[in-house]
Amino acid sequence: MTTRIVVAALIATAAVLVTACSERPQVVQYKQGTYQGKPDTPPYANAPFNGNQTEWESALRTRQQAQNEYKRTN
């Protein structure tokens, strides 16, 4: 009984060790037409807006209108 357990343990250990020898692809698998790089976060995701898209859009809207001299106080 003990021998069987030892044999089973050895087989399991060998199997675990062999898995480390598996070959991993060294070349990126490109998918035609889709972005392959790192993911990016939306511009309002972090501080100072902390995910508040409305506040971010409002800030940009104010800046955009500052480009219109007809709306600015001269």
Q: How many helices (H) and strands (E) does the chain have?
A: 2, 0
Please report how close the Cβ of residue 51 comes to another protein at its closest, in angstroms: 12
Largest Cα span, the chain: 95
Question: Binding of another protein at residue 36 (CB under 8 A)?
Answer: yes
Question: Binding of another protein at residue 38 (CB under 8 A)?
Answer: yes
Please report how close the Cβ of residue 15 comes to another protein at its closest, in angstroms: 36
Question: Binding of another protein at residue 63 (CB under 8 A)?
Answer: yes
Query: Which is it for the CA torsion 58, 59, 63, 69, positive or negative?
Result: positive
Measured distance CA(8)–CA(17) in Å, rounded: 14
Out of 19, 29, 68, 73, the residue judged to bind another protein by CB under 8 A: 68
- Point out which residues bind another protein (CB under 8 A): 28, 30-49, 56-57, 59-61, 63-70
